[in-house]
Chains A and B, each alone.
Chain A
Amino acid sequence: MTAHTKPVSRYTTAARINHWVTAVSLILLALSGMALFHPSLYFLTYLFGGGQITRAIHPWIGVVLAVSFLGLFLRFFTLNFWNRDDTIWMKNLGAVINDREEGLPEIGKYNAGQKLVFWGQSILILLLLGSGFVLWDTYFASYTTIDQKRLSAVVHALCAIGAILIWIVHVYAAIWVKGTLSAMTRGSVSGGWAWKHHRKWFRQEVGKS
């Protein structure tokens, strides 16, 4: 007979809403931003009602993302500090992506990969926000020189590509590791999932109840 534990709570309702607001903003920003980045993707402006509207709303969605991501940052940054086990985990990344993580240290709420996603997006979004204001001519054209705007355009594009790449890693990890998605849809994961992937966190959680 198989014994199953109760689902383990991982995210509050507020945290999930915060996450999905960020997620939807990021996808809309990626689509509208790519539309203005590469002529071959200009057709994506039709999703937003044309070029003028795409140009006008992209920065506003950026503001929503920045505020929303700040919420995620404040919720989770204390859980994302780097420790020695994370370094060991990173050195064994090959084993991890081959699903052979038995010998590795027990993981708290976040593994090193998740922490890198967290810090990577935090830094990139800060840079995107800063360079985005410089490019937001409707309101801020007069505050910077043309050379600063040129530099911002390059920084903005580079950071956006970085953020999209991290987003791909983030989404793929959720697809690959079965049982993950329920953490962000229903707020909980199975005991087995918590045991397999975040054992130290699981021990803490069951210790509480």
Chain B
Amino acid sequence: MSVMQALDLRRRSASSVPAPAAGKPAAVPVAKLIDVSKCIGCKACQTACLEWNQLDQPIGYTDGTYNNPTDLTTASWTVMRYTEYEHGDDLEWLIRKDGCMHCDDPGCLKACPAPGAIVQYTNGIVDFISDNCIGCGYCVKGCPFNIPRISQVTSKAYKCTLCSDRVVVGQAPACAKACPTQAIYFGTKEDMIAHAGKRITDLKSRGYQNAGLYNPPGVNGTHVMYVLQHADKPSLYAGLPDNPQISPLVGIWKGVMKPLSLAAIAFAGAFGLMHYVTKGPNRVTEHDEEKAAEVAGSEKA
């Protein structure tokens, strides 16, 4: 692989200081491209993910479908989601490999209150640094894709790392390596967009008029992209958001509210201090005490 890699930081959660890499030339942005049209749903990627990351997914239950486990978990950072799409006389089996999209503008990182618990490397990978994670679940609220899962055991958040530990030494993510149909590609984001273009041309020539690339602009693009047969309707693919963006509520909570709240508290404190300095204490006078004694005396009499 010709990708120059470095795990220099581009962003660091809850930190107003510039990330260490600021000013240094950034690493080349990388991306994983998942070609849904080539996926056969074998789950080799799920297995490879568990294996490489040494994760243990406890045996659960089946809901009668191929979705297994039925949702992302603290151990299963990627799961295949199977959708039977019926239209006219046709039935299509849409199989989407779900997992962290590595948003270029990551909502999890924006929402995280713990300094350095979520970082984004200059190559675009968004990573959770467990040492700094406090298990508050704010990343869950920040994420437009419902990806992070909090462990009941360790009280830490987990998700796909895009195999940052493999990428840094020039290896493709484990899932991409394991995929038998090469439905998962990995490389520079530029190359992946170019490759997706070829795949889309091919799909269109075979009748998929709405084939396209899923690289949603609402989060400034993602470092995990999909080639979709029906890119006009991403929600067909087990609820992939049509236009994902960081919730405006999170924007308010993590944006204007922070400085305004501190300003309001500081103003209230300053107002009190200035009031005391200009007006002085509100004291009971001797006259008040005398009046009180007089009233108390007359009541007793």
Contacts and interface: CB of A to CB of B under 8 A. Distances in A.
Contacts of B258: 37-38
A176 B276 contact: yes
B268 A39 contact: no
B261 A42 contact: no
A2 B135 contact: no
Contacts, number: 162
Main secondary structure of the interface of A (DSSP, over half): helix
Contacts of A54: 134
A83 interface: no
B198 interface: no
Interface stretch (A70-78, A117-125, A147-155): A147-155
Contact of B268 (A51, A55, A168): A168
Interface of A: 2-6, 36-40, 42, 45, 50-52, 54-56, 97-99, 135, 137-138, 141, 146-147, 149-151, 153-154, 157-158, 161, 164-165, 168-169, 172, 175-179, 190-196, 202-203, 206-207, 209
Given A97-B275, A165-B268, A157 B292 contact: no
A207 B282 CA distance: 27
A191 B113 contact: no
A38 to B, nearest CB: 5
Contacts of A175: 272, 276
Contact of B284 (A3, A135, A165, A192): A192
28 contacts: A3-B289, A4-B289, A38-B261, A42-B113, A51-B114, A55-B136, A97-B279, A99-B279, A99-B282, A138-B152, A146-B146, A149-B141, A150-B141, A153-B250, A157-B257, A168-B268, A169-B268, A178-B284, A190-B284, A190-B289, A192-B285, A192-B286, A192-B291, A196-B284, A202-B292, A202-B295, A206-B296, A206-B299
Nearest to A145: B146
Interface of B: 14-16, 113-115, 132, 134-138, 140-141, 146, 150, 152, 155, 247, 249-250, 252-253, 257-258, 261-262, 264-265, 268-269, 272, 275-276, 279, 281-286, 288-297, 299-300
A191 B286 CA distance: 11
A146 B145 CA distance: 10
B80 to A, nearest CB: 22
A134 B258 CA distance: 21
A209 B300 contact: yes
Contacts of A153: 138, 141, 249-250, 253
Q: Which of A40, A135, A153 has the most CB atoms of chain B within a 10 A radius of its CB?
A: A153
Contacts of A3: 289-290, 293-294, 297
